[in-house]
Structure 1
Amino acid sequence: MIKTLAKQAMEAGGFYALDKPVGITSQRALTIAKRQLKIKKAGHSGTLDPLASGLLVVAVGSWSRLLAFVLGADKVYRATVRCGLRTDTLDITGAVEGFQAVPSALGAEAVQAGLASFLGTIDQLPPAYSALKVNGVRAYALARAGEEVTLAQRAVTVYAIDLLDLVRSGPFLDVVIRVHCSSGTYIRSLARDLGELLGTGATLHALRRESIGSVTLASAKDPASLVSDDRLPLSAVFPDAPSYAIEGELLTQARNGHALACPRALGDGKEVLVLAQGDEPEYQRLVGVYGVQGDKLVPLRVVPPEGAR
């Protein structure tokens, strides 16, 4: 028992920001991070393809159940779209389906106008080579097997899309953009659609995720160099959530997942971080994330105290 509790104490909950390198899967990056932190349980905030680099938000220990609050957050990406080239996967790793020289007359004005057409809420067709399921099977598995994949369009929101650079690369035109979008937006699909709009075809040449919600690459670490002190403060993940510290009977009720009376100061509909009173770091005192419902604080996700079985 002592050994078990000691081992669990090493697996302290928390959030970490990883900078995933190009060339490895998100799962591989998570495995490296788990080895560095000497923990067994962890999850991440959403897959990046091996082609892509950038931000993964990782939750470890019992905090993995809090990833639900990160998964739906807005994202910011820096992407390079190669106009003049079409591939089956909609990125540079795929098989070439066609190419054409991009006219020299195609410049910033036309590209800007094309990009502007994607602003707001749009219907987007996901890539056939995606992790979405068709009758219980991953779409990419069907596509790789040569089967025709039919996916439904779905609504996504592009809040901002900025043209950063235009670079001539032989017969191609590389369009470098920054995209602020809702969760579930496929930048590969955006690249495809921009190419069709410009009449050149296009594929995604490079992608880097710069932020998830309020967490940015500024706080991210290489998975192979991660240490426990790199844990993100709660304010980095929940910047707008007020905290409510409790003790005694209230703490016992909260640990057991009961609703609590809501102080008037918190009655604004926001998520609330409920903490145990004390001088320990916040990650040791977090009870859970609660929501305001009338005069009650209702548990959305509760995490057990460190060392609990």
Structure 2
Amino acid sequence: MISRAATLPDDFTSINELLSACEVEDTMDLDIHRHALQETQTTEHFQLWLADSGHIQGFARLRFGEVDNITEGRYWYYVRPTAREQGIEARALQWAEQQTLRHSAGSTCRLYTASHADHAARFGFLEANHFTRERYFFTMKQDLHEAPSAPEVPAGYTLRPATLEELESYTELQNLAFREHWNAAPTTVKELRTEMLQPRYRSELDIVAVAPDGTLASYCTATIEPSKREGAEEIIGFIAALGTHPAHRKLGLGRALLLHNLRTLHTLGVSKSHISVDGINPTGAVRLYESVGFQTFETWLLYFKYLS
């Protein structure tokens, strides 16, 4: 077995073939990794495990960040269905641990990963290797063949697309809206600017609520993308984020923004929407999504492993 760092773009076609095999076997959508592999200025780490023939058998991705003064390695790994439980999972974990310890330079660090609740072999491996289950997230879906209800915007508030000119206040809103959420890492102005300049960014789906005094009070952003999460590939509208400034909660802004974006998706011809939500979200998001027609169809288990 050979292990080496991925060479991009040269290895992309072979990695894509491995991801496709895993998607078929596990009924998953792994496009987030294809997007990451195609980023031109990435700081992420991609590692491969190859058979002696040179055929890729395993792929791992590692992205570092800081959460509550802890160095966190967000870790994903995928093994060809015919090569599972033959040692690649353990080799990939050892690589991720070594990389994270090296990056942390002696400070407290941990790995963060996830498993679909239906993939018993995967979460069994994680738990056997001292990962602790910390949280669970739902993926919810809603049919958009019919137009959702019209939003009721609270008096004095207005809805409009976000703009690059207000990046600092928009970044501040996003961080305040999510500061009490589990494992939330602050967004920077640079990160938000990069996101808003991506080719797939849709300004008509990045909507803010403006308070009577002109400040930003709430926001909702969505994307349109292919998904294979339910087996066959289809185009879905993904509600990427929905958050409200603490001073403007309990007014119905989140519901108004959500319905606004769902109606926009319907107008654009999208027939289904997905959203991911913390199973014990502190602001009652699950109830909100259920109230406008979302239903849970996936559960994800989230894990930490502290290394130092």
The two structures have a TM-score, normalised by structure 2, of: 0.23
* Structure showing the higher helix proportion among its residues: 2
Decide which structure has the larger Cα Rg and report it: 1
The two structures have a TM-score, normalised by structure 1, of: 0.23
